[in-house]
Amino acid sequence: MGTRTLVIAARFCGPPASANGGYFAGMVAALAPLSVTVRLLKPPPLATALRVEDGAEGALHVLDGAQAVASAHPAALALQPARRPGYLEAVEASRAYAGFRYHRFPGCFVCGTQRARGDGLRIFAGPIAALGVVAAPWVPDASLDRGDGKVQPQFMSAALDCPGYYAVALADQMMLLAEFTAHLDRLVHIGEACTVIGWRIGSSGRKHEAGTALFDGKGELCGRARALWIEPREAVS
């Protein structure tokens, strides 16, 4: 398919000057014919024309000028979600969201506490100790509409991002998303009372793996993702 251009609007930030990782991964995945693992090599810049080039065996390469931003490679996702809490359980869990006490990036499109309704996703995942998960309610707003009453895929990918961080960052330590593999079973509807969960898969040194899943208003699984989070050696602003 040659070379394409990808631009991440400023609205869809994670840290102030870079894209939310899950949203970015969803935008890259939309350019691939198969499910992919997106590897972030540097924070994706905002409002910048990024070049997307085809690689061997279905790979994609995202570049900012000559600098590599990300790569994507076909990958299957073998992930079974942890036990799903009910929607009202997720509402109650969100009251204990760690980001209400302290948030490194309060302007994050997905989990930022400073984002208004209809602007950010406002997914505030709090712990449910008995189930070993964090959980949050999510009611997608009209700005996410694909045009047919369903949520655009990149926003479901974004929703599957930040709950994974809160599942593994027990001390609210700084982490960056390094790899993200999402699979969407079907799109949820605008205005639907959804539940998003995250759980720890495993940790090794500075590397932490998390699983996330998204359920519709009927409690049916609609999307899942596996993420690798890495604690940086140096401080990130």
Provide the residue ranges of all domains of the chain, joining segments of one domain with +: 3-74, 87-230
CA 57/CA 73 separation, integer angstroms: 8
Same fold, 3-74 and 87-230: yes
Tens digit of each residue's pLDDT (9 = 90 or more) over 108-122: 999 999 999 999 999
Contacts 24+ apart (CB under 8 A), 59-65: 60/28, 60/31, 60/32, 60/36, 62/6, 62/28
- pLDDT given at position 1: 59
Tens digit of each residue's pLDDT (9 = 90 or more) over 167-211: 999 878 889 999 999 999 999 999 999 999 999 999 999 999 999
Six-digit token pair at 162? Answer: 């930040």
| pTM score, whole prediction | 0.95
* DSSP β-bridge partners for residue 226: 181, 211
* Inter-residue contact 44 to 50 (CB < 8 Å): yes
Neighbours of 62 (CB within 10 A): 26
Nearest Cα to Cα of residue 25 among 129, 146, 128, 157:
157
Place of tokens 């961080």: 165
pLDDT above 70 for 237: no
At 157, phi and psi to the nearest 5? -60, -40
pLDDT bin (cut points 50, 70, 90) of residue 146 is very high
Place of tokens 């040659």: 2
Q: Which alpha helices (H) appear in the chain, and where do they start and end?
A: 21-29, 87-94, 153-159, 162-168
pLDDT above 80 for 140: yes
Nearest Cα to Cα of residue 99 among 119, 81, 120:
120
- pLDDT given at position 232: 87
* DSSP β-bridge partners for residue 54: 60
pLDDT bin (cut points 50, 70, 90) of residue 147 is very high
* Inter-residue contact 175 to 207 (CB < 8 Å): no
Domain 3-74, architecture per CATH? Roll (3.10)
* Inter-residue contact 157 to 184 (CB < 8 Å): yes
- pLDDT given at position 7: 98
CA 162/CA 129 separation, integer angstroms: 18
Q: Provide the mean pLDDT of the chain.
A: 95
Nearest Cα to Cα of residue 157 among 104, 115, 213, 116:
213
**Yes or no: domain 87-230 corresponds to CATH 3.90.180.10:** no
